[in-house]
Structure 1
Amino acid sequence: MPEQTGIAIVGCGFVADYYRHCLAFHPTLKLQGVWDRDPERLAAYVACWGDRAYRSLDELLADKAGAIVLNLTTPESHAAITEAAIAAGRHVYSEKPLGMTTAEAERMRDLARSAGVRLSAAPSNLLGESMQTAWAEIRRGAVGRVALAYAELDDGMVHRANYRSWLSRSGRPWPARAEFETGCTFEHAGYAITVFAAMFGPVRRVTGFSALLVPDKRTDPPLPHPAPDFSVGCLEFDGGVVARITNSIVAPYDHRMRIIGEEGSLEIREPWDFSSPVMRRGPSTSRLARALERRLPALGGKRVPMARRSPYRPGRSGPTLDFMRGVAELADAIRTGRRCRLDEDFAVHVTEVTEMIQHPDRFGRPATVRSTFAPIEPMDWAR
C-alpha cells in the first residue's frame, strides 16, 4: 500500500463530484471527510459517495488527518476558506481562481509562507498527457524556435443552452449564476495561461480587452453584476514568445490551442481532455500545401505519440480531465520535500495575468506583470 496523504473537502457543489470521481485513480490520497455550509448539499453528496460528513468547518480544520484542505467553494469564498485553513496549519489546494484579485492571491501566498504550509491551485491540465506531450515536442525542437501561441476558449452561448438540466452525480445543478457573475475569463483563462507560462516562462506584459456583449443571460431574477462574456489578452513572455488568449461564452465552441514555431506548429483540440491528440504540422511552403491549408485545414497533420498512456479513465459519467491530479502533485511534493509544480508563486502569477485580461481598466495598456515564479519542471514520465 503506498503512503497516503489525508485530504478534506470543503464545498460539495457541482465540481466536487468531478474531483470525487477522480479520487479512485490516486491511491496516495485518502479522503478523511467533507463539509458544506448547505446541509442539503452536504447530505446529498454524502448519500451519493458514502463519505464522512464533518459537522462544521471548525471540526474539519481540527482534524489533523486531513493534511490538505481541498477548497471547492464558490470563487468569492476561496480566500476566506483558504485563509482559515492556513491559520489551522493546513496545506491548501484551491479550485481556480486562487483569488478574485491579485491582492487576495498575494495575501494568501504570504500567509501560507508565514505559516510554513503549502498552497497550490487549479487548473491542473498542465500535468496531463496532452500538454506534457506537446511540451516535450517543444523541448526537443520538433517545431523549431517557438514564436507564437494561440488559445481559443470559446464555449458557445451557454445562457441559451439547456443548462438547467445539467446535474452532477450527486444531483447538484450547474452553478449558472455564479459562472455568469465570475466570468468566463476567470473560469477558463487559466487553462491556457498555466500551460503557456510553464512552457515559455513568466508573462512580462499583458494587453487586455474585455466586454459584456450579452448583458441579459436569461436568468431569473436577472443578474445584478454580470461579468464580461468576452475577453482577449495578448501576452508577452520572458523568452520572447507572444501569445493570444481569447475567452467567450458568445462565439461557437472552440477550444483549440496552437503553438507555432519556425519549423512547424502543434495543435491540441481540447485542453480539458488529458488524452486529447497532439497534432504536429510542418510549415506550408508550396502553393499546393497552402491551398490545402486554406480549404482543408484538418488535413496535413501528423499525430504525435503520447508521452505515456494516461492512467485516468473518465468512464461514462466522469470528466475528461483528471481533477485530482493537481492535488496528488501537491501531496507528492509535500511527502518528498520538493517544490510543487503548481505552487503559490505560480498560482499568484496566473491570477495576476487573468485579472489583467478581465479587468484591463485596473491596469495600464500594456500592463507590466509584477509576479514571477521559478522554472516549472516537466513530469518525470515526459522528460
Structure 2
Amino acid sequence: MGDPHGVGIVGLGVISRAYLDTLANHPTVRVVAVADRDAARAVAAAATIPGAEAVSVERLLHHPDVETVLNLTIPAAHAEISGAAIDAGRNVYVEKPFTVTFPEGRSIIDRAASVGVHVGCAPDTVLGTGTQTARAAIDGGLIGRPLSASAVMVTPGHERWHPDPDFYYAPGGGPLLDMGPYYISALVHLLGPVRAVIGAASQLRDARVIGSGPRLGQRITVEVPTHVTGVLEHAGGALTTLTTSFDGVATSAAPIEVQGENGTLVVPDPNNFDGEVRHLALDGPGWRVLEPRAGYVAASRGVGLIDLVRADEVRPPRASGEVGLHVLDIMTALLRSAAEGRRVELTTAVERPVPVPFTPAEDWLSTHAPGR
C-alpha cells in the first residue's frame, strides 16, 4: 500500500471522536493535522494523535502531507470548507449532509471534477453488515420483486442531549437533513436511486430549550421544519414512505422495512453499522434473523473514508460525493414539495453503489484492500 494516506481533519466537535477512534491508528491513513475554530480544542485533539499537528484551517488545506480533508464542520460550513479544500487540490470526505443547499452541492461536485480530485460523503454506516446484509438478501431474490418500503425516525429533539444544538434547528438542520441521510442513503443502497418525491412538513414550536451542558436551560430559535414526511418514487418502481421527526417521543416502527412480492425484510437502524436483519417469507413459519452475509464487520465511522482511499478505476467509492448529492437532492426536493404542494422530479441520477462483500474486521482494519 506504500506510505499511509495523509488526512487533515477540520472540525473537532462531538462526532470527531468517533472518526478519530477509527482513523488515528489505522495503517492505511495517517492523521497529519487537525483544525478547529476553537484553537484549544484542536490542540487537545492533536495531543491524542501521534504525529498530528494543531494548525489553522488555511495551513491544513495547504499542508504538503494532507492528501484528503475530512470535513466535520457544522452543515452551514460544509460547502465553504469542502470548496476550499478542492481549490487547494485536496480530496474531500464530508460529514452529512453534503451541503445545506443543492446548488452548493452541485458546485462541489463540478469543482472536484474540474480539478481531478475525489469527493466522499457520510454516512458510511450503510456499509456495515446491517444494511449490506439486507441488500444482499434483496439482490439474491429472497423477498422477490421489491414493491415498497417504509423508513421512520422519531425523536423529541437533539437539544435534550447535545450541548450546542443550535445548528440542528438552523438551515441545513432539522430531522430530514440531519437524520434523513442515514435512512435515504440506506434506501438508495437497498432499492436504488429516486426519480421524484412528494413531501409535507410542519413545525411544532418556534423555540427549543437546551437540556445539558454549560448552556443548560438556554432557548434557541427553530428556523426549519421539525417534522417531515413524504413518498419517494424509486427509479426501479418501488415506493418508500419516509417520516423524520424531532417532535414525537418515540416510535415502535421498524427503522426501515422493505416489502416484496414474496416476503418482508426488517432492516436495522441505519445510524448503526450492524444489527439484526429479520425476514418473513410469504406463507413462512414466522420471522427469522438472517446471518450477516455482507458488509464491513464491526465497522465504525471513518470506514467510508478508508473505502474512498482504497477505491480505484475498477471499484468506485461507495460513500461517494455523487451519492451524497443525490441524497441531498431528495431531501431538498421533499422540502420544496412540502412548501409548494406538488410532486417534484429530481435533477440527479446516480448508480446504485457497489455492494460490500462480507469483510471481516481484521481485513478492513489492515493495509489489505478488501471489499472490491
TM-score past 0.5 threshold: yes
Moved more, 14-23 or 219-228: 219-228
Pair 1:23–1:253, CA change in 2 (3 A): farther
Give the conservation status (yes or no) of the 8 Å contact 1:2–1:27.
Answer: no
After TM superposition, give the deviation of residue 57 of structure 1 in Å: 1.6
Aligned to 1:214, what secondary structure does the other structure show?
coil
Aligned to 2:231, what secondary structure does the other structure show?
strand
After TM superposition, give the deviation of residue 284 of structure 1 in Å: 6.1
Pair 1:63–1:339, CA change in 2 (3 A): same
Specify which of 265, 271, 290 is matched with residue 304 of structure 1.
290
After TM superposition, give the deviation of residue 176 of structure 1 in Å: 1.3
Letter of the 2:358 counterpart: W
Aligned to 2:224, what secondary structure does the other structure show?
coil
Alignment match, 1:192:
183
Pair 1:308–1:225, CA change in 2 (3 A): closer
Alignment match, 1:207:
198
Alignment match, 1:333:
311
Pair 1:203–1:342, CA change in 2 (3 A): same
Give the conservation status (yes or no) of the 8 Å contact 2:155–2:250.
Answer: yes
Give the conservation status (yes or no) of the 8 Å contact 2:127–2:296.
Answer: no
Aligned to 1:27, what secondary structure does the other structure show?
coil
Aligned to 1:381, what secondary structure does the other structure show?
coil
- TM (normalized to structure 2)? 0.87
Aligned to 1:184, what secondary structure does the other structure show?
helix
Alignment match, 2:27:
27
Letter of the 2:310 counterpart: D
Identity of matched residues, %: 29
- Give the structure with the larger helix fraction: 1
Structure 1's unaligned 5+ residue stretches are 165-172, 290-299, 313-320
After TM superposition, give the deviation of residue 3 of structure 1 in Å: 5.3
Alignment match, 1:89:
89
Alignment match, 2:10:
10
Alignment match, 2:166:
177
Alignment match, 1:144:
144
After TM superposition, give the deviation of residue 22 of structure 1 in Å: 1.9
Aligned to 2:240, what secondary structure does the other structure show?
strand
Instruction: State how 1:211-230 maps to structure 2 within 5 Å.
Output: 211-219=202-210, 221-230=218-227
Pair 1:223–1:123, CA change in 2 (3 A): same
- Compute the RMSD of aligned alpha carbons: 2.4
Structure 2's unaligned 5+ residue stretches are 211-216, 360-371
Alignment match, 1:169:
none
Give the conservation status (yes or no) of the 8 Å contact 1:210–1:360.
Answer: no
Specify which of 227, 230, 233 is matched with residue 230 of structure 2.
233
Alignment match, 1:373:
350
Give the conservation status (yes or no) of the 8 Å contact 1:25–1:311.
Answer: no
Distance 1:205 1:258 in 2: 20
Distance 1:94 1:179 in 2: 17
Distance 1:356 1:376 in 2: 21
- TM (normalized to structure 1)? 0.84
Letter of the 2:191 counterpart: F
